[in-house]
């Protein structure tokens, strides 16, 4: 069973449908899950607050090797903190979350992901596949080796990139919304399901 | 080349949970079913969908919420919903039922605070303010109530204001070009795109693939169309292939070409 942790105001019907998972906030359901997905819509501080009652359960599951996927804000919550707002993330990846420069924020729309390292989530997807992004913040992992895919964006100072996908062992994060990225996104979710 | 792909957006007018305008897509079992049509659009390669509810009674509101729920289960591209929203609760209801983005038009003009509050609820990236504009006094004037009511504010000033209030995107419809299929209103599009930093979705007048290219050159991030696709004049792929040949970055199935 895949537990889809619902902490935002959003509706995760498309994630649920794609993964055939259970949308839940119940710690017991999360405890019994084979895989955990944390989709994220909202503000880091607010969602971190709502995550509190589940925090220990999720951390223990991650430690035990349960595959975990954080989507968008859910990816940011893998880090200890964010400049978007106070509150404690899961802190399973070292680093922080920063705001995109004003001229590039919010980053809304379809952009390409270029693989940087081996990641089973990206298997069978061509380099440069398009995914749908909606965000104003992006993660800065301390350890560059967790970045498995990158996306380029334009700033006043030229073209830069942010981590589009991260992975450390059983922990995965994607900055884009696979559930909104049509066939390519569904392939990512399918790859996660197959882990 | 710009990194973010220019978006091709299709609009569906909804009345009592059904698509209003006649549709000539083949392979549709029920051409009036918005979910069927949305799925067809997704597989045709559209980047985003906008659902405009043209009925606003409470009874129809529930039909709309039910539709939003169905779309969110069956369609795997982003979709925006609007029409007749007056309250933050209305915004929240749409988001809770699965709308990725919500747009507002008249209510934003009558109650600008609603824009700010809705941006707080949805996150500003997910709040779209729709502006209907018509030429007046050497500029463009905002019209509300489905274009029937001229307002004192200019389109450019209002666009700047909604950006400040927290809108993440502007859906800009020219009342001059809407329905003409003679091309987007490029003057209006560029005036607004120059005035704000947030993305502008050009709307009204798309009839040929080159109209999208023109709108993008004028500064639009997305082009919205209805009849060009609904009536089968051009497929989404034909529009995108034209744009790719002209060097415009649009989403395509293969990563590199």
Nearest-angstrom CA–CA distance, A21 and A6? 12
Domains and CATH numbers, chain A: 2-194 (3.40.50.880)
A152–chain B Cβ distance below 8 A for any pair: yes
> Residue B224 falls within a domain, yes or no?
yes
pLDDT tens profile A29-51? 999 999 999 997 778 988 999 99
> Residue B253 falls within a domain, yes or no?
no
A11: which chain B residues are within 8 Å (Cβ-Cβ)?
69, 72, 95-98
The domain that contains B238 carries what CATH number?
Answer: 3.20.20.70
> Cα A3 to chain center, whole Å?
15
pLDDT tens profile B243-257? 999 999 999 975 433
- Helices within B25-154 (DSSP H only): 34-44, 58-74, 88-96, 106-110, 112-122
B75: which chain A residues are within 8 Å (Cβ-Cβ)?
14
- Contact residues, A window 95-124, toward B, CB-based 8 Å cutoff: 102-103, 106-112
pLDDT score, position B125: 84
Q: Following CA atoms A28, A188, A194, A125 in sequence, which dihedral angle do they give, to the nearest 10 degrees?
A: -170
Is A135 among the catalytic positions? no
Q: Where do we find the tokens 């992901």?
A: A113
> Residue B250 falls within a domain, yes or no?
no
Where in the sequence is the domain holding B86, given as residue range(s)? 7-245
pLDDT tens profile A107-135? 989 999 999 999 999 999 999 999 999 89
Q: Looking at the 3D structure of chain B, how many domains does it have?
A: 1
Which of B168, B198, B251, B253 to mutate to test binding with chain A, by most A CBs within 10 Å of its CB? Answer: B251
> Residue B64 falls within a domain, yes or no?
yes
**Looking at A76, A107, A135, A179, which residue is catalytic?**
A179
B59–chain A Cβ distance below 8 A for any pair: no
What letter would DSSP give residue A179? Answer: G
Is A72 among the catalytic positions? yes
pLDDT tens profile B74-115? 999 999 999 989 999 999 999 989 999 999 999 999 999 999
Nearest Cα of chain B lies from the Cα of A9 at a distance, in angstroms, of 6
3-state secondary structure of A32: coil
Strand spans (E) along chain A: 2-5, 22-24, 35-40, 68-72, 95-99, 107-115, 129-135, 137-141, 147-155, 158-168, 171-174
User: What ipTM was reported for this prediction?
Assistant: 0.92
What letter would DSSP give residue B246? Answer: T
């Amino acid at each position: 069973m895949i537990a889809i942790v619902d902490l935002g105001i959003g509706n995760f019907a498309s994630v649920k449908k794609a993964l055939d998972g259970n949308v839940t906030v119940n710690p017991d359901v999360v405890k019994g899950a084979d895989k955990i997905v944390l989709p994220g819509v909202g503000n880091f501080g607010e969602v971190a607050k709502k995550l509190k009652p589940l925090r220990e359960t999720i951390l223990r599951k991650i430690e035990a090797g349960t595959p975990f996927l954080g989507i968008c804000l859910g990816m940011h919550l893998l880090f200890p903190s964010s400049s978007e707002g106070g509150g404690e993330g899961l802190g399973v990846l070292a680093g922080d979350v920063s705001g995109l420069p004003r001229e590039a924020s919010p980053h809304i729309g379809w952009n390409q992901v270029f693989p940087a390292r081996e990641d089973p989530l990206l298997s069978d997807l061509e380099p440069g596949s398009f995914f749908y992004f909606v965000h104003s913040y992006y993660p800065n992992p301390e350890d560059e080796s967790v970045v498995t895919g990158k996306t380029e964006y334009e700033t006043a100072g030229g073209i830069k990139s942010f981590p589009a996908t991260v992975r450390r062992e059983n922990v995965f994060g994607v900055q884009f919304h696979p559930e909104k990225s049509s066939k390519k996104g569904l392939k990512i979710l399918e790859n996660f399901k197959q882990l | 080349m710009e990194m973010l792909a220019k978006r091709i957006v299709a609009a569906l007018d909804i009345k009592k949970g059904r698509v209003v305008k006649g549709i000539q897509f083949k392979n549709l079992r029920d051409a009036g079913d918005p979910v069927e049509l949305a799925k067809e659009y997704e597989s045709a390669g559209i980047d985003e969908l906008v659902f405009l509810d043209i009925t606003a009674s409470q009874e129809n509101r529930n039909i709309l919420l039910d539709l939003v729920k169905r779309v969110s289960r069956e369609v795997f591209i982003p979709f925006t919903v609007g029409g007749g929203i007056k309250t933050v609760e209305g915004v929240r209801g749409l988001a809770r039922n699965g709308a990725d983005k919500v747009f507002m038009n008249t209510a934003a003009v009558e109650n600008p605070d609603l824009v700010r509050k809705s941006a707080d609820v949805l996150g500003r990236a997910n709040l779209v303010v729709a502006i209907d504009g018509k030429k007046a006094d050497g500029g463009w004037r905002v019209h509300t109530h489905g274009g029937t009511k001229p307002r004192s504010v200019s389109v450019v000033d209002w666009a700047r204001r909604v950006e400040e209030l927290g809108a993440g995107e502007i859906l800009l419809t020219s009342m001059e070009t809407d329905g003409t299929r003679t091309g987007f209103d490029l003057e209006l599009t560029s005036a607004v795109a120059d005035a704000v930093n947030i993305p502008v979705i050009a709307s009204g007048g798309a009839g040929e693939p080159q109209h999208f290219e023109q709108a993008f050159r004028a500064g639009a991030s997305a082009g919205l169309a209805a009849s060009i696709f609904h009536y089968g004049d051009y497929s989404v792929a034909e529009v995108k292939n034209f744009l790719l040949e002209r060097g415009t970055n649009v989403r395509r199935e293969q990563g590199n070409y």
